[in-house]
Structure 1
Amino acid sequence: MNQPRFFNPSAVTAPFRVLWGALRDLFDEFLLLTLANILWAAMSVPLFSIAYVAMVSNAALPAAAAALVGVIPAAPAFAGLYVLSKRIMEGRASKLSDFFAGMRAYAVPAWRLYGVWMAGLVLILWNLAFYAGVPGILGGVLIGFFLYLFMLWSALIIYAFPLMVLMERPSLKQIARNALVMIVSRPVYTLVTMLLMGFILILSSVVLVVPFLLFAVALLALWSTRATQFLIDEAQAQKEAAAAEAAPPAEERGRRGQVRPK
Structure 2
Amino acid sequence: MTGDLSPIDKAKFVAARRAADLVEDGMRVGLGTGSTAAWLVRCLGEAVRDDGLKIRGVPTSARTAALAREVGIEVISLDEARWLDITIDGADEFDADLNLIKGGGGALLQEKIVATASDRMVVIADAGKEVEALGAFPLPAEVIPFGWQTTRALIEETLVGMDVLGRDITLRMNGDRPFVTDEGNHILDLHLRRIGNPRQLALVLNQLPGVVENGLFLDICDTVVVGHGDGRVELRDLNEGTVEEGRLDFVDSDNLFRDISD
- For the aligned pair, the TM-score class normalised by the smaller chain equals under 0.3
With normalisation by structure 2, the TM-score equals 0.24
**Richer in strand (by share):** 2
**Richer in helix (by share):** 1
With normalisation by structure 1, the TM-score equals 0.24
